[in-house]
């Protein structure tokens, strides 16, 4: 009797798995594989409604660290003059709650599907003087003038950009001399750790479901090698097993 129940449960579970795979899993994966537009729109939707509620509260300690660094960098500024800030790869704007008073914020993202989510979110933060949204890749921010910004911010961007060095070159172009680039990124596990193999194993499917995100990037080295006059880069280990694949992070500031 017990054996029959056990067999029946396995049969039901396997059938459910196959029904799920054939009706949702496989068609979804094929659409993500063959349509960039679908991938971008699916990612923005899932990042806001599925991943966001799980990830954003757990990423808040790291975000606060990044914005504490920003606060320290601009501590001596004249508070009557607005701080000109650009956030690249803004997504739906999970950092908005952390921006200091009196800043003029321009945001940029290559994924146009995030714009409506961002606009909805931005309304909740009247202390920020929102300037405009630029839909462009950070590798070529032709809408942003040279030497025009005090600060550029990016959080969890380099994992999914096409060319980090091109992004970093653009960041230096748009920053004023002495301007600050504040960053927070998830990066690869150290070579000696098993987590790196897991990151590499999962990369292909992760790339599809997270719109180009690659788990094993060494962004710290790229930032250090990209020509800033000074780079302060700290390691940060996310204290959640839930974030196992993106546990290793870096947070810091680079000066033009």
CB of 90 to ligand SAM, least distance (A): 6
Greatest Cα pair distance in the chain: 79
CB of 8 to ligand SAM, least distance (A): 42
Cβ count near 62 (within 10 Å) = 22
Quick check: 64 and 95 in contact, CB under 8 A?
Answer: no
Q: Which is nearer to ligand SAM, 53 or 177 (CB)?
A: 53
Q: Which is nearer to ligand SAM, 89 or 179 (CB)?
A: 89
Q: Which is nearer to ligand SAM, 121 or 155 (CB)?
A: 155
CB of 155 to ligand SAM, least distance (A): 4
CB of 15 to ligand SAM, least distance (A): 35
Nearest residue to 63 via CA among 101, 82, 40, 90: 90
Q: Which is nearer to ligand SAM, 78 or 142 (CB)?
A: 142
Q: Which is nearer to ligand SAM, 110 or 180 (CB)?
A: 110
CB of 125 to ligand SAM, least distance (A): 15
Pairing of strands 248-255, 230-237: antiparallel
Instruction: Identify the three-state secondary structure at position 180.
Output: strand
Cα–Cα separations (whole angstroms), residue 74 to 46, 77, 185: 35, 5, 21
CB of 79 to ligand SAM, least distance (A): 26
Q: Which is nearer to ligand SAM, 2 or 211 (CB)?
A: 211
- Distance, in Å, from the CA atom of 92 to the CA atom of 121, rounded to the nearest integer, reads 7
Give the interface with ligand SAM as residue ranges (CB under 6 A). Answer: 88-91, 94, 108-111, 114, 137-139, 155-157, 160-162, 213
Edge-to-edge order in the sheet of strand 103-109:
129-135, 103-109, 83-88, 149-155, 175-186, 248-255, 230-237
Backbone angles phi, psi at 163, to 5 degrees: -150, 100
């Amino acid at each position: 009797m017990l054996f029959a129940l056990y067999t029946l449960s396995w049969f039901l579970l396997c059938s459910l798995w196959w029904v799920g795979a054939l009706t949702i899993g496989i068609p979804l994966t094929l659409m993500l594989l063959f349509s960039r537009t679908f991938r971008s729109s699916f990612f923005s939707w899932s990042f806001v409604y599925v991943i966001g509620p799980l990830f954003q509260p757990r990423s808040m300690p790291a975000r606060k660290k990044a914005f504490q660094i920003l606060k320290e960098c601009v501590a001596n500024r004249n508070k009557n003059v607005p701080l000109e800030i650009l956030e690249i790869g803004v997504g739906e704007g999970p950092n908005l709650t952390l921006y200091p008073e009196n800043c003029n914020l321009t945001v940029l993202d290559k994924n146009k599907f995030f714009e409506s989510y961002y606009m909805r979110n931005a309304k909740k933060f009247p202390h920020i003087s929102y300037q405009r949204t630029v839909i462009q890749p950070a590798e070529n921010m032709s809408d942003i003038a040279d030497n025009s910004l005090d600060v550029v911010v990016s959080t969890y961007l380099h994992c999914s950009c096409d060319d980090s060095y091109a992004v970093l070159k653009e960041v230096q172009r748009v920053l004023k001399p002495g301007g600050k680039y504040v960053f927070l990124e998830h990066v690869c596990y150290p070579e000696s750790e098993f987590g790196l193999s897991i990151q590499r194993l999962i990369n292909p499917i992760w790339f599809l479901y997270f719109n180009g995100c690659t788990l094993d990037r060494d962004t710290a080295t790229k930032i250090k090698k990209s020509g800033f006059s000074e780079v302060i880069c700290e390691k940060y280990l996310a204290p959640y097993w839930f974030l196992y694949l993106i546990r290793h992070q870096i947070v810091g500031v680079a000066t033009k």
